[in-house]
Amino acid sequence: MGRRRIQRRSRYTCIMSDCLFCKIIEGVIPADIVFRNENVVAFNDLNPQAPTHVLLIPTLHTENAAGVARNSATITADLFLAADQIANDRGLNGYRTVFNTGEDAGQTVFHAHLHLLGGRPMAWPPG
């Protein structure tokens, strides 16, 4: 597995050559990108579960939410602040943010991603 740092983008950026979401960060695989800053890239989910279903990913490759937190409190905060900004820009009347961690939680892509869901009422408990 190739692992390299791209200093010019963010001091945190770290790309894995065999990771789907790292390829989206690099632009190798296309995505409908809706937000980008130094530490975060956000794009529409390919299989949306709500009118707004955006995935927010750190430009640092790490497997899950705890991995993000271990690496950087700044990036952890940036993910939630970017989600809040997108939700506010869209005038959402509330939203849900979800990190799935591990198989039982339904995680299928092992580059940490924060789901931002909104635009419809959300049931609780989740399925």
3-class state of residue 38 by DSSP: coil
Degrees to nearest 5, angle at CA 18 with 73 and 83 = 35
3-class state of residue 60 by DSSP: strand
Site string for ligand AMP, 14-43 (x = CB under 6 A): ------x----------x-----------x
Q: Is 46 in the site for ligand AMP (CB under 6 A)?
A: yes
Q: Which of 53, 61, 111, 113 is catalytic?
A: 113
Candidates 6, 26, 33, 45; binder of ligand AMP (CB under 6 A) is 45
Rounded Cα distance between 94 and 86, Å, is 12
- Pick out residues in 81-120 that bind ligand AMP (CB under 6 A): 100, 106-109
Candidates 47, 103, 121, 127; binder of ligand AMP (CB under 6 A) is 47
Asked whether 75 and 40 are in contact (CB, 8 A), the reply is yes
Q: Is there a catalytic annotation at residue 111?
A: no
